[in-house]
Chain A
Amino acid sequence: KAGVTQTPRYLIKTRGQQVTLSCSPISGHRSVSWYQQTPGQGLQFLFEYFSETQRNKGNFPGRFSGRQFSNSRSEMNVSTLELGDSALYLCASSLEASGGAGADTQYFGPGTRLTVL
């Protein structure tokens, strides 16, 4: 099975622009989560989608948004980019076959490295 794929892998934008990142989960996985990784703050949860619905949201401003499509693919969008948005954005998918949502293993993609100039 193919793993989680994220596109693009690298992105350079300037302040004030907007950006859309894409994530394709492992086939059959319905839950997709997004995380932001920075040297200062570490790994922080952005949001989670399950069956096209946002199921949970982290403590990020409204400039960060996402969506999930019927094929479970997900996108996240950041509008009005700030220098502090420079980070590695990781997408993870999980199956939720048993044990409840929290018990499932999350499989991570390689990430999209966003640089804001």
Chain B
Amino acid sequence: AQSVTQLDSQVPVFEEAPVELRCNYSSSVSVYLFWYVQYPNQGLQLLLKYLSGSTLVKGINGFEAEFNKSQTSFHLRKPSVHISDTAEYFCAVSYMNSGYSTLTFGKGTMLLVSP
């Protein structure tokens, strides 16, 4: 079985400060890794994903994430946040070669950006 742990349920930060949202996963097989964002009263939007290759992945809105296989982590970072980044962020995994599209999500991290 696979599981995803997002260590922080809430991360408060001031505008223009850097931020890191942490994600660790456990799985007995190889996985693909995703970060999604959810704004209030909306569905989820993909920020970025890691399938293979370079461990540093760049996504939309200035976000990036680094895959660390030895630490089974996929932390999300942004060097300078904006008020508009206030949202809930979800880390997710799916099995490689599973034959189906199923995401296992972490519990989410609420990013609260204040002026």
- In Å, the complex CA distance between A107 and B36 comes to 10
Indicate the size class of the contact surface on chain A.
Answer: 20 to 34
Select the residue from A94, A99, A101 with max chain B CB neighbours within 10 A.
A101
A66 at the binding interface (Cβ < 8 Å): no
Check B41–A48 contact: CB distance below 8 A.
no
Q: Which residues of A contact B101 (CB under 8 A)?
A: 31, 33, 48, 50, 94, 96, 101-102, 104, 106
Q: Pick the contact of B106: A42, A50, A99, A104 (CB < 8 A).
A: A42
- Given known pairs A43-B90, A90-B43, A102-B94, the reply for A48 and B100 (CB within 8 Å) is yes
Check B97–A111 contact: CB distance below 8 A.
no
A4 at the binding interface (Cβ < 8 Å): yes
- Given known pairs A45-B103, A55-B100, the reply for A103 and B43 (CB within 8 Å) is no
Check A109–B43 contact: CB distance below 8 A.
yes
Check A56–B43 contact: CB distance below 8 A.
no
CB distance from A34 to the nearest CB of B (A): 11
- In Å, the complex CA distance between A31 and B108 comes to 24
- In Å, the complex CA distance between A50 and B25 comes to 27
Contact with B along A23-67 (1 / 0, CB 8 A): 000000001010100000011110010100001101000000000
- In Å, the complex CA distance between A11 and B92 comes to 28
Identify the B interface with A (CB < 8 A).
31-32, 34, 36, 41-46, 49, 51, 90, 92, 94-108
Identify the A interface with B (CB < 8 A).
4, 31, 33, 35, 42-45, 48, 50, 55-56, 58, 90, 92, 94, 96, 99-111
